Amino acid sequence: MEELINSFKNCGYDAHFVKTKIEALELAKTYIKSGMSVGLGGSVSVQEIGLLDYLLNKKDITVFNQYEDGISMDENTHRRRQGLISDIFVTSTNAITKDGKLVNADGSGNRVAAFSYGPKNVLVIVGINKIVENLEAGFKRVMEVAAIKNIERINNKAIEMGKEPKYNLDNIANKFSWVKADDKDRIIIILVDEELGY
């Protein structure tokens, strides 16, 4: 893993490797400073390490939480946009190649946009299950693993809430990107030696 992390650092990422979810959470906390504004990209990985709960319960930051129950679609859209000009955008990635390309698909587009430009920093929580050999393998993983599992997750949640499931590949994976670090250390990668998310 040291070789991989060095490769990511050479690409311009602020890259770290930790062994456990607990270590990942503790390291992630060091990037969240009092007074910051925080944007969110949908991420099971961020939830699994406990970072989402930490952010939502931290009183000295502003979190643009588009997932809050009961908000209108207009408010949801407003918060997504605010997240794109936040101090730090917290998310995961669908895949990361060994030469440092972050590969993603999105429905609304706020997450893929944040990787490219906008937030001062992007904090990416990545499980080892998302490491792929190259771009082709990255996009294959996006469509055959990440998108499918996210469709199942979101549609199952809708059914539990008594709503009609409405997501499929056309509306959950219709905006694609791959990016490599731009400004040095703008994108922070915490690679965790566990399987996280999809």
Model pLDDT for residues 48-72, shown as the tens digit of each residue = 999 999 999 999 999 999 989 899 9
DSSP string, the chain: -HHHHHHHHHHT-EEEEESSHHHHHHHHHTT--TT-EEEE---HHHHHTTHHHHHHH-TTSEEE-TT-TT--HHHHHHHHHHHTTSSEEEE--SEEETTS-EEEEESSSHHHHHHHSSSSEEEEEEEGGGEESSHHHHHHHIIIIIHHHHHHHHHHHHHHTT------HHHHS-EEEEE---STTTEEEEEESS----
* Average pLDDT value over all residues in the chain: 92
pLDDT tens by residue, 100-156: 999 999 888 899 999 999 999 999 999 999 999 999 999 999 999 988 887 777 777
> Out of 3.40.50.10420, 1.10.1280.10, 3.40.50.300, 3.40.50.970, which CATH number does the structure's domain 2-192 have?
3.40.50.10420
All structural domains of the chain with their residue ranges: 2-192
- pLDDT tens for residues 150-182? 777 777 766 776 777 677 777 677 789 999 988
List, in sequence order, every residue forming a beta bridge with 126; answer none if it has no partner.
191
